[in-house]
A and B are shown apart, each in its own frame.
Chain A
């Protein structure tokens, strides 16, 4: 894992001191709320419905055991004993006081963490593949580039007051587990004809009120030139992005307005002034960063995840392995996905005691490393297959053994109106109702891969547009209703879902989703996932379900 150097630590410590002073001045009245609000947002502190919410950055979703323990300590000491892992691989604490916020940031700095770039119109915390470094299909570990981007973008003087927030996602594998086509910039690693690794650069994707699948602006940029190319994109956006209307200010609006061809021309012209400058990442610099992400010392073992499942002594254990453990690039090891989607568990929430246990388990079974997924689950990336029974038993005893990763009850949901000041409708109760409806894990496995995403408003924090089944909460004259879409996906074949029918109340939404699943089971062809069936037949058969339920 990346370890701070003295520059990193000094920067973060200075930021804590600055924010402590800013909070003191706010509490004394020296700063008004209007003056203070942008300062607190730059430090991840929001004022939500019931309290302050602190969003803590987890760069590219990688955590050490020590960092997880600190998150547990913060949850216990400053919050109500739990935290919420988000769809941007961060964690949010929901019950923070303003007076204690600087102390929390100071505690975070002791484990090389912070809340920078989790809010405001800057380049936000870079997200990545939660299986980075361990996925069998990976070309190179994308976290090396993600860390370079972190260093480049942190407090970048030119890009601290962009027209709007800016999100970058990066994957090093052909299978896109980072949703790169729905980010302002998405980076997807390829090799060129000479075998050199570089990035396809995708621009202008995003969700929210104007969902757009990003377009490839350049099919291949060598790693050495990536920063200069991204800087050129940022400069064009910073120059031409709208600032008069926050709803028209994202880069996707600019790309759509002038067209990808003109946008590309502007970027290329800017790039000619930037490439072959100090923005080039020298091979030795790249190598120095890469050294932080060197693989751990794996034992020489044999065996596959499938063999581990087939050989499991317990049927429940076998089911968990099949659902939650993914193949690893090193024989005899597996990638363990820990579901935070147990029945009645708010999606993405973990208690302090669960976090402490996960830290212990990571140290004992996963070389001290944990990942956060944009699907609001956690990952232990380096587990010996022979340790799976003991690890599963420990997770199961702590309420973390739900065998549903990637299945119908692995629902992605934003905090919704139960917490969020922007939301129009609640997300968590609907997610819980659906989880209860699909609690039968045998049936869930029979249904197979199916992603349900629930957002409580058009800002789409739960990425409902790219859910196989997407659900958007709306407020119609004070009544919570839910608009359903079908056919969205965030993988390498990213697509936006299509609306099926009018918005319905929550109880009908549950019946509707159950009907969609029944329709799928009735018409699917052998080996076809839900999303494949929707792609093959369209939404018409599902709309008939809608009419039957009306």
Chain B
């Protein structure tokens, strides 16, 4: 859902890959990664606007859809050194997938009585 972002908050740009809908994040190398930890973090409105302008080219180029800017957790950046982490539950789920065990298509026993 749309969420008001603080002007000085650390932020990353995210989108979905057009071809398969996979969640991706803009990296410092100018690529799109499915890993939030590899996202480029920007911290000011002008920097965000500039990054979005660049990312729009990939929207026009049919690489990604649904550009969005999300806040990330700053303490994770400094203290853990393992890249940004999502703040909201929604973005955490986007970043790491459903929180439930997905059904596994195990073989089922077919009764011998069936033709």
Residues of A within 8 A of B (CB): 26-29, 33, 47-52, 75-76, 80-82, 96-99, 344-346, 349-354, 356-357, 360-361, 364, 390, 393-394, 397-399, 417-419, 422-426, 428-429, 432, 475, 478, 480
Contacting pair A48 B102 (CB below 8 A)? no
| Given the contacts A76-B105, A357-B110, A478 and B100 also touching, CB distance less than 8 Å | no
Instruction: For A29, give the chain B residue with the smallest CB separation.
Output: B62
Instruction: For B23, give the chain A residue with the smallest CB separation.
Output: A50
Besides the known contacts A52-B21, A353-B107, A418-B93, 10 further A-B residue pairs in the complex with CB atoms under 8 A apart: A29-B61, A50-B97, A98-B19, A346-B103, A351-B103, A353-B106, A397-B108, A397-B109, A426-B93, A478-B88
Q: What residues of chain B lie closer than 8 Å to A393, measured between beta carbons? A: 111
Contacting pair B89 A478 (CB below 8 A)? yes
Contacting pair A33 B108 (CB below 8 A)? no
- How many A-B residue contacts, CB cutoff 8 Å? 119
Query: CA of A80 to CA of B20 in the docked complex: distance in angstroms?
Result: 13
Instruction: For A479, give the chain B residue with the smallest CB separation.
Output: B89
Contacting pair B22 A354 (CB below 8 A)? no
Q: Does B18 contact A (CB under 8 A)?
A: yes
Instruction: For B96, give the chain A residue with the smallest CB separation.
Output: A50
Q: What residues of chain A lie closer than 8 Å to B102, measured between beta carbons? A: 80, 82
**A138, chain B: closest CB distance, angstroms:** 30
Count chain A CB atoms within 10 A of each CB in B23, B59, B100, B101 and give the residue with the most.
B100
Query: CA of A300 to CA of B101 in the docked complex: distance in angstroms?
Result: 46
Contacting pair B109 A81 (CB below 8 A)? no
Query: CA of A81 to CA of B105 in the docked complex: distance in angstroms?
Result: 5
Query: Which of B22, B60, B113 contacts A51, CB < 8 Å?
Result: B22
Contacting pair B100 A428 (CB below 8 A)? yes
| Given the contacts A29-B60, A394-B111, A98 and B20 also touching, CB distance less than 8 Å | yes
Query: CA of A317 to CA of B103 in the docked complex: distance in angstroms?
Result: 26
Residues of B in contact, count (CB < 8 Å): 38
**A37, chain B: closest CB distance, angstroms:** 9
Q: What residues of chain A lie closer than 8 Å to B21, measured between beta carbons? A: 47-48, 50-52, 96-98
Q: What residues of chain A lie closer than 8 Å to B5, measured between beta carbons? A: none
Contacting pair A47 B60 (CB below 8 A)? no
Instruction: For B18, give the chain A residue with the smallest CB separation.
Output: A98
Q: Does B50 contact A (CB under 8 A)?
A: no
Query: CA of A99 to CA of B22 in the docked complex: distance in angstroms?
Result: 13
Query: Which of B1, B100, B108 contacts A354, CB < 8 Å?
Result: B108
Q: What residues of chain A lie closer than 8 Å to B99, measured between beta carbons? A: 418, 426, 429
Query: CA of A106 to CA of B87 in the docked complex: distance in angstroms?
Result: 41
Q: Interface of chain B, helix or strand or loop or mixed?
A: loop
Q: What residues of chain B lie closer than 8 Å to A81, measured between beta carbons? A: 103-105
Residues of B within 8 A of A (CB): 1, 16, 18-23, 59-62, 65-66, 87-90, 93-94, 97-111, 113-115
Query: CA of A390 to CA of B108 in the docked complex: distance in angstroms?
Result: 15
Contacting pair B103 A364 (CB below 8 A)? no
Query: CA of A201 to CA of B98 in the docked complex: distance in angstroms?
Result: 41
Contacting pair B98 A50 (CB below 8 A)? yes
Instruction: For A425, give the chain B residue with the smallest CB separation.
Output: B89
Contacting pair B65 A47 (CB below 8 A)? yes
Could you name 24 residue pairs across A and B whose Cβ atoms are closer than 8 Å? A26-B18, A26-B62, A27-B18, A29-B62, A47-B65, A48-B21, A49-B23, A49-B90, A52-B20, A52-B21, A75-B105, A80-B102, A98-B20, A346-B100, A351-B103, A353-B107, A360-B110, A360-B114, A394-B114, A398-B109, A422-B1, A475-B90, A478-B88, A480-B89
**A239, chain B: closest CB distance, angstroms:** 32
Contacting pair A390 B90 (CB below 8 A)? no
Q: What residues of chain B lie closer than 8 Å to A49, measured between beta carbons? A: 23, 90, 93-94
Q: What residues of chain B lie closer than 8 Å to A349, measured between beta carbons? A: 103
Instruction: For B107, give the chain A residue with the smallest CB separation.
Output: A353
Instruction: For A393, give the chain B residue with the smallest CB separation.
Output: B111
Instruction: For A365, give the chain B residue with the smallest CB separation.
Output: B114
Query: CA of A345 to CA of B101 in the docked complex: distance in angstroms?
Result: 9
Q: What residues of chain A lie closer than 8 Å to B107, measured between beta carbons? A: 353
